[in-house]
Amino acid sequence: MNLELVTIVVNDYDEAIVFYVEVLGMDLVEDSPSVAGSGVAKRWVVVRPASSVTGLLLAQADGERQVAAIGNQTGGRVGFFLRVDDFAEAYDRMVAADVKFVTEPRDEEYGRVVVFVDIAGNRWDLLGPAS
């Protein structure tokens, strides 16, 4: 058993793809046309870190309820955790891309960590080995 996908509701597919692929360094696994249960055209967009089994389904908001969930999928808590082998490289790449950080990098027992906000407004931990 494994957790295959986690959905992140976003404003725009293409902007989200740029963020997760070019800024965070994930792979675009799939970008296919699809149809919602309501019959509305949508896309099936999956990104995934190269060494991960679990991917993210980027779902463009459809309707007021979903729009309201953008950036608040975990009630303002850090809800996503991205572990990298080279913290400094990932952090520097994200700084260069103007990613919003809500804390300064710090060392914890479990490694180096900094909290950032994704393109939708969700809080993430960027985690790396202890320095």
pLDDT in tens, the chain (131 residues): 999 999 999 999 999 999 999 999 999 999 999 987 777 789 999 999 999 999 999 999 988 999 999 999 999 999 999 999 999 999 999 999 999 999 999 999 999 999 999 999 999 999 999 87
This prediction has a pTM of: 0.92
CATH class of residue range 77-131: alpha beta
Q: pLDDT for 26-63, tens place per residue?
A: 999 999 999 877 777 899 999 999 999 999 999 999 88
The structural domains of the chain, with segments of one domain joined by +, span 1-61, 77-131
Task: Please tell me if the domain spanning 1-61 has the same topology as the one spanning 77-131.
Answer: yes
Q: Which CATH class is domain 1-61?
A: alpha beta
Burial 80-109 (b: 16+ CB within 10 A, else e): bebbbeebeebbebbeeeebeeeeeeeeee
